[in-house]
Structure 1
Amino acid sequence: MGIDGLLFILSVIGEGGLLFLVVFFVITLSDLECDYLNATTCCSRLNKFVFPEILVQSVLASLLLITGHWILFLMYAPCTAWIVYLFVTKPSGNIGFYDPAEIHNRHQLKAYMRDNMIKMGVHLIFFFIFLYWMIYSLLKDDTTMFGVPAEKAKLTDDPYEL
């Protein structure tokens, strides 16, 4: 297994985690929308996972850049840059990225729900892209035939010949 196989295995695991996290965000925000949760509980649950989401996505983008997968990096970087931009430009008076005092003002709840649905779609697409490239890179690196390197394996049409 080469560096590409390891990269895409880590990418599939990371994207699976991010996909799970975004589904958690959507469920928690919809619980707030239906008044199953209060704003303080909802925002405290969500704020715990904002920085890990940014960290995982930044690490995946930097790994794509370091390993030379330029096209995948250029496709993946805008989503990462967008999330970092949203985190950096949050108002300084807010408690966290999701502020319980502001979440019901100016339709922020709808905007957060829309943003997370877009992120869910992006992470779902990249999960399958990384899954495809993981399978491709693992099959491409498989140069053995029954434990014998392919160059030394004697390939004949007769299945009974050794």
Structure 2
Amino acid sequence: MAEVLYWISTFILILTLLCILGYQLILLVDLEFDYINPYDSTSRINQVVVPEFIIQGIFCFTNLIAGHWFIFLVSLPFLYYDLRLYSRKEHLADVTEIYNKLSGEKKKRFYKVAYLIVVFVMSVISLVWTLTEDVH
């Protein structure tokens, strides 16, 4: 039963991170096409940055506690990158520089989405592996 709860929580955490990053990407694209002003875009992005970091930390901690070392080690660089951004105070979008950094911010979030998709696929493979080991 604990293993089932682990997999459910893992999938919920990954999907939540993907939704947060998708929301940030939509805001950046809206800003790029001038559908939203820079102040609203950056304030909305900044509201979800810290929760994104917290959810990533919970995801890593869950994998550590559950003993899924491979997924933990794969997700650790993402957590390190987030902690480095937070410690350097580079995690928030600046309203005065958002147009200059727009393509870089979008690329950064696309890389995070790709990274999370890879982690999600590895989690599904690990789930299938675990289920097949229990059968035999």
Is the pair's TM-score, using the shorter chain for normalization, greater than 0.5?
yes
Percent of aligned pairs with the same amino acid:
29
AA of the residue aligned to 1:57: Q
**Residue 126 in 1 paired to residue 126 in 2?**
no
Give the SS at the match of 1:101.
coil
Structure of larger gyration radius: 1
Contact 1:54 1:80 in 2 (8 A): yes
The alignment yields a C-alpha RMSD, in angstroms, of 2.0
- Give the gaps of 5 or more residues in structure 1: 144-162
Structure having the higher helix fraction is 2
Q: Deviations over 1:42-73 (max 9, x none)?
A: 01111111111001100110111122222221
- Give the gaps of 5 or more residues in structure 2: none
Figure out how many residues of one structure are paired with residues of the other and give that number. 136
**Residue 111 in 1 paired to residue 109 in 2?**
no
Give the SS at the match of 1:102.
coil
Partner of 2:56: 57
Q: Which moved more, 1:125-134 or 1:12-21?
A: 125-134
TM-score, normalising length from structure 1? 0.75
Query: Per chain length, whose mean CA-contact separation is higher, i.e. which structure has more relative contact order (CA < 8 Å, sep 6+)?
Result: 1
Distance 1:33 1:132 in 2: 37
TM-score, normalising length from structure 2? 0.88
